[in-house]
Structure 1
Amino acid sequence: MDFASLVGIISGLILIISAILIGGNADIFINVPGMMIVVGGTMAATLLTVQFRDVMNAFKGAYIVFTQDKTNPSEMIDTMIKLSKISHRHGLLKLGEVKTDSAVLHRACMLLCEAASEQVIRNTLQNEIDSLMARHFSVQDVFRKMAAYAPAFGMLGTLIGLIQMLSELDNPESIGPAMAVALLTTFYGSLLATMVFLPIAGKLKARTLLEVTNLEIIREGSISILTNDHYAHVYEQLSSYLPERARKPILNKKPPVTQGVKK
């Protein structure tokens, strides 16, 4: 699991549970009707808005993002440099034998192996980037919709609880349970939106930006390999995707001349 996600989930749950326990009995925060209103209503509204397949893909995508390790741009740049060295030593045909888990990188290697034109490589890989962004946006949109629906159904539960309470004012024993539903549904809706759905959407967006950066590195690196650039030139072109502190010199350079110092 992604370390930041693990820390966020554990720390958030610990803080919320600790605040509940410090304030009193935790049993009063458990209300089955309130959970049914918020969780059931949120899922029903989401299924009415998007297709069932999209909802399943959203949860599957969230699971993948939170459990699989990410590929840093620096690692992808190193991969493109290795491919550049292979191309220089053995020719473009050798790239067709490269084994990789990335379907896009494999496709780029096959295009280079087939000596496709620069425009074909650029258009093909750009289409991959655009389609990835569209797929990921649909996944993020599911969780953004759920984050909007959950507080709304929390307010709906509050109204239901208030109506029940006002209709039974002559029965003091019913006021407590009705008020619990009224307040806890708002709590459940806010908790799901701020602790679950919005963080997942934000994590998915961050992973999308990272994957787009990696695909752009593959695209630009493939074009540089096609034009037979030296691997040092390939690195210089791709290093702009890295923060300045993460860039490293690819070639050994002469030491700078120090002025005014006698040996």
Structure 2
Amino acid sequence: MMEELKWVPSTVDVTRPSVARMYDYYLGGSHNFEADRAAAKQVEQIFPGVAQSAQANRSFLRRAVRHLMDQGVDQFLDLGSGIPTVGNVHEIAQHDNPDARVVYVDFEPVAVSHSNALLADNPNATAILADLRATSAVLAGARETLDFSRPVGVLIIAALHFIQDTDSPYEAVAEYMSVLPSGSYLAITHATWDTLNDEERAEAEQIAKIYSSSDNKLKMRTHAEVTEFFDGMDLLEPGVVAVNDWRPDSFDEAHVGIYGAVARKP
């Protein structure tokens, strides 16, 4: 256990499940604890496809970053970035352009601590410990690495469904995009109940109860509600769709209850 704890900040409560560490578990990572694994396994018992959904979500991120790189974007602000795993944004971007800049933002201390350890020798990437709702603080920190006079790709992957409407998620997203120039992009993935039948919805409600014991509660949103995050922007084809249907590399008919979309600021 002591070996396991070396990478954990002393302020972290390892007895309470963390959504970032549960996600790490779904992706096959090792930066999680018994409380995270226990909660994640409860979710798996109800929804055996959760790991597949997490992988589909991660694949969307890779495709979105590559597409933005193809459009000439070489700066990324990854909000709610989570614990680093294979295929991080800086790895994808800097593979094609070593000068690409990336700022990761997460409120989970383990995620940020591990990110900065990985980025210690990378002058063009950093991680900030902050809640994405703290827009002013995040933007101030991001400006130290990113040039806001040039287009930026804002990535909010599987994070907004942990922010309740009372915490103004739409206003937060709008504020981030308001300070960025034309040609910037916004990529979002978001869990939904839209595609679920009555039995699956009952299972999803059980999952939501499990997450209520973690550091964040789930807030599912409809297609219309997810689309609203892109208000005033130009949605790229095919619009707001299941993540595995967004410009896929190969055909995937898996049932994934996560929407994904990318839009350009005009």
The alignment's TM-score, normalised by the length of structure 2, stands at 0.26
Structure with the largest fraction of strand = 2
| Rg larger in structure | 1
Structure with the largest fraction of helix = 1
The alignment's TM-score, normalised by the length of structure 1, stands at 0.26
